[in-house]
Structure 1
Amino acid sequence: MTINRNLATFADLEQWLNENRVTEIECLVPDLTGVARGKILPREKFTEDRGMRLPEAIVAMGVTGEFPSEGPYYDVITPTDRDMHLRPDPTTVRIVPWATDPTAQVLHDCYDPSGNLIPFAPRSVLRNVIELYTAKGWSPIVAPELEFYLVARNTDPDMPLKPPIGRSGRSETSRQAYSIDAVNEFDPLFEDVYDYCQKMELNVDTLIHEIGAGQMEINFFHDAPLGLADEVFFFKRTVREAALRHDMYATFMAKPIAGEPGSAMHVHQSVVNTVTGKNIFSNEDGTPTQEFYWYIGGLQRYIPAAMALFAPYVNSYRRLARHTAAPINIQWGTDNRTVGIRSPIASPQARRVENRVIGADANPYCAIAATLACGYLGIKNKIAPSAECKGDAYLGEYALPRSLGEALQLLRDETDLHEVLGKDFVTVYTEVKEIEHAEFMKVISPWEREHLLLHV
């Protein structure tokens, strides 16, 4: 199966479907949690409709499937639950490699009846932020590094997760950072993952074993933001499916196992002048530009307010703890992995900034949109960064929200981000996350029963 990323029209898409003898199509829309929503259509029905309709609230519900029942949410989403019109993006078509019959998957963009992008749909938000860069004559470039855990099957949510059993018949009991043999324990699984990724033409690069037991990391080649957000979305579906076929789970929870490091989605980012093709972070003599420092300044200024997008669940904040391979503040430094904002060693043309705050559980569209928004505001407002951190940033104070509730309030209060991400998006997103937080607060944890039952 071959994929032509130059597909531009519905006619091109139709030709591709013919060439690959597709009989069924998964019409997909990423919702705010990153879950794939949509419909599965026979090829004939897809061709006749050239899209489909879904209730607009489908992309705007919480991870539990709940919707807000009142409030500002319904100032944006019509209480009549009207349809949104979905249009396929031909460039996103890919084969579903694990399907029995020839099946394609196609991402769709969401529009209102007047032909305007639905402002709270994740792909719309990222598209709108990219347009701000385009208006300046810039093209943002990103490269995600996505961590995840392989865990043994677990059908009881009250039981802790455990590392899976590898081909040796044993599960990991110690940390195996960068161990080749530890990765080889799961060779049959990763052979399927790479086979699936090849058939889907996902730009995956390096696979490594991370610090935690059963924790892996996959790196993506740098490219345009929307395409890479799509690839992260597809990859999550792919690795989960492959893991199930090998009697284990793959999880992108930020902190799935107590006592083990959390999982991040580090995003490397740079900006290219669309006319000259040069990195705007580097001067002709190879030194950093003011834009480079302003971009960092923007990340420092706005990351705390964007944390609800980088760390979107109550579990996310368990990852962000001192000396756990995750940042606790917004200091920046060169080749320094203790900071939240890292500048890797690179040639002038490859000079970039790495946002290390983002969790693996973040919606890739929302997270990439938010980090680009922070950098854009830094350049626009010429925000100077703090002095570079050249030591251990874990010795500094916490400078990030410590809970989802605190993060949501910071996002509500930061009007600069509203202007870039869209007021309607921020309204819908924060209202949905409040519902999730309220659901969590109804649950009594084992820690509370253990320590409070007979002691208070």
Structure 2
Amino acid sequence: MSVKLDQLTSWLKDRKITEVECMISDLTGIARGKIAPTNKFLDEKGMRLPESVLLQTVTGDYVDDDIYYELLDTADIDMFCRPDQDAVYLVPWALEPTAMVIHDTFDKQGNPIELSPRNILKKVLKMYTDKGWTPIVAPEMEFYLTKRCSDPDFPLVAPVGRSGRPEVGRQSFSIDAANEFDPLFEDVYDWCEAQELDLDTLIHEDGPAQMEINFRHGDPLHLADQITVFKRTMREAALKHDVEVTFMAKPITDQPGSAMHIHQSVVDTKTGKNIFSNEDGSMSKLFMNHIGGLQKFIPELLPLFAPNVNSFRRFLPDTSAPVNVEWGEENRTVGLRVPEANPQNRRVENRLPGADANPYLVLAASLLCGYMGMVEGINPSAPVKGRGYERRNLRLPVTIEHALERMENCKEGVKYLGENFMRGYVAVKRAEHENYKRVISSWEREFLLSSV
């Protein structure tokens, strides 16, 4: 037994944990795995899962057989999942003392599974390590609280808060509006504290009962794990308080969408200095190149930032979300905002990802785009001053089909992320979209049923 597993054993025994949720993330971000008694978990030192869970769609279906058997063993073999002792969290809402342990996935030769989202993020982080760089991120997660409803044909509506009335209008940054759900968020903060999640601030966003939780800046892998845990925690707290929580990118018609803003910077691993700043405090060439890489490659890898057909509803005209990869200082109308900060804290805020993105893949993609810009010396466009919504030169693909086609043809994505991952991800998203196209929408019934 390794030293790390010894540490994990002590952690579980000290807390009298009786059950362990052994989990991995699929491409969508759904937690998949097994629940085991603690003794069995420690005896087996991990778990095995079918490789096929990494080609499963959000509807539970699989990709076409042609792709499936090109990327996976025809015998539908298992992959080996090893626990990461740095990714162990309590499950405070469980009836019995329970822990969730995030696992890494390997083939029988010990090679990392190429389709694994967590392995993809590790792969990108190693690129930075090899250059002597350490990336730092600070995610911001937006989401809606809604009234519970079991019928998907009914539109979502705001829940009733402590006052006994649902929220109407827009209440940006309203403390009273956020306090409507104090009992829920008291549980969230208590549970997150028990899980040692690095939460910072709670903000009421523009939409009715739309909230934002900010995370403290830190290591990208650790924060991707925390976002995965946080989303489960929010859903459990919502169930306890008889409301729903959704991280859909655009859950309510004519209301703002929900984003996962990512603040990212890079420091020199040896000195700890921010490489985005020169000695005189000005913006460095590497910072300009980082922005240039984001501008060039986000449109090529957009399905990693906007993974669902619903994601693209955030990018419709006249919404509060950015619709291009323009950049500007202290400018929230562009996709890439440079907040005012001292030289050591200089960073870029990527405002394009949706809250529905897989946290491992979206952090990997955002950091990879910036990395490619730095290693290839890509210069950005001129910064935007004033309103940037109408800028059309650097607009994004407007449909999931167009975005998947561009991603499929992105040679740099294949070079850095691997052909198997690129083909598998595109295939999963295409399979999901084919399922979506089979469903007749309420708009079609309302406007076409008796009119055409």
User: Do Structure 1 and Structure 2 share a fold, with TM-score over 0.5?
Assistant: yes
Tell whether the 8 Å contact from 1:369 to 1:421 is kept in structure 2 after alignment: no
Residue in 2 aligned with 1:415?
411
- Provide the C-alpha distance between the structure 1 equivalents of 2:85 and 2:449, rounded to a whole number of angstroms: 57
Residue in 2 aligned with 1:388?
383
Tell whether the 8 Å contact from 1:269 to 1:354 is kept in structure 2 after alignment: yes
Question: What does 1:399-410 correspond to in 2, within 5 Å?
Answer: 399-410=395-406
Which of 198, 205, 208 is the aligned partner of 2:203? 208
Question: What does 1:273-422 correspond to in 2, within 5 Å?
Answer: 273-397=268-392, 399-422=395-418
Q: Kindly provide the CA deviation profile for residues 260-304 of structure 1, in whole angstroms up to 9, marking residues without a partner as x.
A: 000000000001110111010001110010000000000000010
Letter in 2 for 1:442: R
Residue in 2 aligned with 1:435?
431
SS of the residue 2:61 aligns to:
coil
SS of the residue 1:383 aligns to:
coil
Residue in 2 aligned with 1:3?
none
Q: CA RMSD in A?
A: 1.1
Tell whether the 8 Å contact from 1:12 to 1:90 is kept in structure 2 after alignment: yes
Which of 152, 155, 161 is the aligned partner of 1:160? 155
Shift in Å at residue 443 of structure 1? 0.6
Q: Closer, same or farther in 2 for the Cα pair 1:188/1:161, shift >3 Å? A: same
- Provide the C-alpha distance between the structure 2 equivalents of 1:220 and 1:8, rounded to a whole number of angstroms: 30
Pair 1:258-2:253 in alignment: yes
SS of the residue 2:39 aligns to:
helix
Letter in 1 for 2:65: E
Q: Kindly provide the CA deviation profile for residues 371-407 of structure 1, in whole angstroms up to 9, marking residues without a partner as x.
A: 1110010001100000100121112227101111111
Letter in 2 for 1:404: I
Shift in Å at residue 431 of structure 1? 0.4
Tell whether the 8 Å contact from 1:165 to 1:172 is kept in structure 2 after alignment: yes
- Provide the C-alpha distance between the structure 2 equivalents of 1:417 and 1:373, rounded to a whole number of angstroms: 9
Residue in 2 aligned with 1:41?
36
Tell whether the 8 Å contact from 1:125 to 1:422 is kept in structure 2 after alignment: no
Tell whether the 8 Å contact from 1:262 to 1:319 is kept in structure 2 after alignment: yes
Shift in Å at residue 446 of structure 1? 1.1
Tell whether the 8 Å contact from 1:293 to 1:385 is kept in structure 2 after alignment: yes
Shift in Å at residue 359 of structure 1? 0.1
Unpaired segments of 5 or more residues in structure 1?
Answer: 1-6
Q: How many residues align?
A: 450
- Provide the C-alpha distance between the structure 1 equivalents of 2:158 and 2:310, rounded to a whole number of angstroms: 19
Greater alpha carbon shift after TM alignment, 373-382 vs 414-423:
414-423
- Provide the C-alpha distance between the structure 2 equivalents of 1:285 and 1:377, rounded to a whole number of angstroms: 25
Tell whether the 8 Å contact from 1:60 to 1:121 is kept in structure 2 after alignment: no
Which of 242, 256, 267 is the aligned partner of 1:272? 267
- Provide the C-alpha distance between the structure 2 equivalents of 1:321 and 1:343, rounded to a whole number of angstroms: 23
Tell whether the 8 Å contact from 2:327 to 2:337 is kept in structure 1 after alignment: yes
Shift in Å at residue 336 of structure 1? 0.1
Tell whether the 8 Å contact from 1:321 to 1:327 is kept in structure 2 after alignment: no
- Provide the C-alpha distance between the structure 2 equivalents of 1:137 and 1:147, rounded to a whole number of angstroms: 33
- Provide the C-alpha distance between the structure 2 equivalents of 1:41 and 1:209, rounded to a whole number of angstroms: 38
Pair 1:13-2:8 in alignment: yes
Shift in Å at residue 421 of structure 1? 1.7
- Provide the C-alpha distance between the structure 2 equivalents of 1:293 and 1:8, rounded to a whole number of angstroms: 43
Pair 1:25-2:12 in alignment: no
SS of the residue 2:166 aligns to:
coil
Pair 1:445-2:417 in alignment: no
Tell whether the 8 Å contact from 1:342 to 1:355 is kept in structure 2 after alignment: yes
Pair 1:131-2:126 in alignment: yes
SS of the residue 1:66 aligns to:
coil
Residue in 2 aligned with 1:178?
173
Residue in 2 aligned with 1:424?
420
- Provide the C-alpha distance between the structure 2 equivalents of 1:386 and 1:182, rounded to a whole number of angstroms: 40
Q: Closer, same or farther in 2 for the Cα pair 1:291/1:27, shift >3 Å? A: same
Which of 229, 239, 244 is the aligned partner of 2:239? 244
TM-score, length-scaled by structure 1: 0.97
Question: What does 1:91-170 correspond to in 2, within 5 Å?
Answer: 91-170=86-165
Letter in 2 for 1:34: G
Shift in Å at residue 8 of structure 1? 6.7
Letter in 2 for 1:204: L
Shift in Å at residue 79 of structure 1? 2.2
Shift in Å at residue 74 of structure 1? 2.4
Letter in 1 for 2:397: P
Letter in 2 for 1:422: G
Unpaired segments of 5 or more residues in structure 2?
Answer: none
Shift in Å at residue 71 of structure 1? 2.4
Shift in Å at residue 73 of structure 1? 3.6
Greater alpha carbon shift after TM alignment, 55-64 vs 130-139:
55-64
Letter in 1 for 2:374: I
